[in-house]
């Protein structure tokens, strides 16, 4: 499929999951009308799909309308729950407050938050058992997509999301200026000690793990864009309240427990 709009690459790629791997993954596709969760809690799990394989079977090319935006195409794409990603949680599951952070690896404001504000929150509130942080990716370009794919793959093995985020955001400026961002991204991981062939293999768009994780990232993005109505990052969901735009650690803590913000349940 020809990618006429760069941002539609992500949607096209997810469509290819259905077309190229549905026999291996036993997953078929269908044009959907949106997504639902069992409650208005943004951290709640996605419900199990109830549609039969027959109802889901459609050609992947039907998903893409090049005259529509990334958001519109994404809204009309049904991604089976078999692709959903586990949340990356930092801190005690029983902490009284939950902060969900949506960020893009190619976003400079997100980079600033993770380098400057996240460590303060972790030291003062996460480590003290007062706050748990859920890290979620927001995909706004191919670089952000592939960085998130590699982060997700190696997180499964190391379970050290903080180190992976620190590694990627630590070289963001040079990475974004690179004449070959994909090769630069590979070298970030290789220099950090990850196997050269393994890294290259996972960045192959024909790799099924690449496809499956990209589909999971798009499912996660559906929830962000079309339920939480997040249109830019960084964005935060603090105790079920949505905040878009840059926040300092002090501002985040100040908003804990405040009732003046519009609650998600009011949406």
Q: Among candidates 79, 24, 74, 94, which has minimal Cα distance to 47?
A: 79
pLDDT, tens digit only, all 267 positions of the chain? 333 344 445 555 555 554 444 444 333 333 333 333 333 454 444 444 444 433 443 344 345 566 777 777 777 777 888 889 999 999 999 999 999 999 999 999 999 999 999 999 999 999 999 999 999 999 888 899 999 999 999 999 999 999 999 999 999 999 999 999 999 999 999 999 999 999 999 999 888 898 889 889 989 998 999 899 999 999 999 988 899 999 999 999 888 753 333 443 333
Q: What's the pLDDT at 257?
A: 59
Q: How confident is the model at residue 180, as a pLDDT?
A: 93
Name the segment(s) of the chain with CATH classification 3.40.30.10. 88-266
Specify the pLDDT at position 52.
40
| pLDDT score of 243 | 93
- 132 strand-pairing partners: 98
CB-side exposure of 20: number of CA atoms within 13 Å? 16
89 dihedral zone (left: phi>0; alpha: psi -120 to 50; beta): beta
Q: Which of 150, 130, 113, 144 is nearest to 234 (CA)?
A: 113
Please report the pLDDT score of residue 264 as a whole number. Answer: 36
Please state which CATH number belongs to domain 88-266: 3.40.30.10
Tell me, what's the pLDDT at 53?
36
> pTM of the full predicted structure?
0.76
């Amino acid at each position: 499929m020809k990618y006429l709009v760069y941002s539609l690459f992500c949607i096209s790629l997810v469509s290819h999951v259905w077309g190229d791997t549905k026999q291996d993954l036993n997953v078929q596709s269908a044009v959907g009308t949106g997504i639902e969760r069992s409650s208005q809690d943004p951290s709640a799990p996605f419900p199990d799909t109830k549609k039969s394989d027959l109802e889901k079977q459609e050609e992947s090319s039907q998903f893409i309308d090049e005259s529509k935006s990334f958001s519109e195409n994404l809204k009309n794409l049904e991604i089976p729950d078999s692709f959903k990603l586990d949340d990356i949680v930092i801190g005690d599951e029983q902490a009284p407050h939950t902060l969900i952070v949506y960020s893009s690896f190619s976003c400079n404001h997100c980079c600033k938050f993770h380098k400057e504000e996240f460590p303060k929150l972790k030291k003062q509130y996460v480590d003290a058992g007062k706050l748990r942080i859920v890290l979620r990716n927001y995909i706004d370009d191919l670089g952000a997509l592939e960085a998130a794919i590699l982060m997700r793959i190696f997180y499964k093995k190391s379970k050290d999301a903080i180190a992976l985020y620190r590694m990627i955001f630590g070289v963001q400026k040079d990475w974004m200026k690179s004449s070959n961002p994909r090769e630069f991204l590979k070298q970030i991981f290789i220099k950090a000690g990850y196997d050269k062939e393994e890294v290259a293999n996972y960045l192959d768009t024909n790799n099924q793990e690449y496809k499956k994780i990209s589909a999971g990232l798009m499912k996660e993005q559906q929830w962000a864009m079309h339920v939480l109505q997040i249109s830019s990052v960084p964005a935060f969901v603090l105790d079920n309240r949505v905040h878009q735009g840059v926040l300092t650690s002090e501002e985040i803590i100040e908003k804990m427990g405040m009732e003046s913000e519009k609650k998600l349940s009011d949406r």
